[in-house]
Structure 1
């Protein structure tokens, strides 16, 4: 019988690594603002793109629609985002950060970038290049659409 050593199985290793990095980064947005991972991803998506629909947020952040819905409701409760019904389709809402939401996002951007720099600084220059290029290559072969594929992006 052929046995799969889970600890050396690349998909499992990538999952564990992504989870560990995300957990480390979550300490920043949890400590700073008490955000959950879906709330952070929603805040970050709207901060990056401006106005988005919940469906677009889910696609961009790889979150299930129920997680997006809960995150949107919580950020709205905090008065960090507003919902505007679509003029042609009342089932669709356009989500936009308020001034308070945008302020929280702007506060988090340098912290997120510093986290990414510090994470990569744990590696040597060749390792940094290898990880960034390797992630981009995997994304490309799996059909992932990534803006700035020459940079590793903190998932959080």
Structure 2
């Protein structure tokens, strides 16, 4: 017997449904900082994710960026193409395999990353200020545990979140 057959009266209420709540919260958190970098740098959320990943680990392929961000490959390709066009990232094809190309921040891309990073960290501090240090550690631990269930085949981020 399936679980839904065991609970025929069970109702889905979005306001209490964890995946919905996490998605809406993620969008709200992202939207606040996205407004700043869209306004000041004309960069979308998707473009910022690529810049942020390359700011931490320059020289990744589009596939590696997609794997780290869980963005779909076409979205990474479109965002990377527009960033390349604007000289924010560079793309260097692999001599052995022309389908592979390393993405790197240009000087302009590093300047944008350096300008946004402290603001992003300040926003994180603002969010976490509403929690005690214990609650913050607990939140990071709970998110990591849920990530292992949602994506059991790979770690979505480092265990420490640092």
Using structure 2 for the length normalisation, give the TM-score: 0.85
Give the Cα–Cα distance (whole angstroms) in 2 for the partners of residues 37 and 132 of structure 1: 22
Q: Which residue of 2 aligns with 1:89?
A: 97
Q: Say which SS state the counterpart of residue 76 (structure 2) adopts.
A: helix
Question: Does 1:55 find its partner at 2:63?
Answer: yes
> 1:23 is matched with which residue: 21, 31, 35?
31
Q: Say which SS state the counterpart of residue 98 (structure 2) adopts.
A: coil
Q: Say which SS state the counterpart of residue 19 (structure 1) adopts.
A: helix
Q: Which runs of no fewer than 5 residues in structure 1 stay unpaired?
A: none
Using structure 1 for the length normalisation, give the TM-score: 0.88
State the 4+ residue runs in structure 1 displaced beyond 6 angstroms.
none
Q: Which residue of 1 aligns with 2:160?
A: 150
Q: Which residue of 2 aligns with 1:33?
A: 41
The residue correspondences of 1:55-134 to structure 2 (distance < 5 A) are 55-134=63-142
Give the Cα–Cα distance (whole angstroms) in 2 for the partners of residues 150 and 85 of structure 1: 34
CA RMSD of aligned residues (A): 1.7
CA offset at residue 147 of structure 1?
4.0
Q: Which runs of no fewer than 5 residues in structure 2 stay unpaired?
A: 1-8
> 1:9 is matched with which residue: 17, 31, 34?
17
The count of residues paired between Structure 1 and Structure 2 equals: 152
Higher RCO structure, 1 or 2 (CA under 8 Å, sep 6+): 1
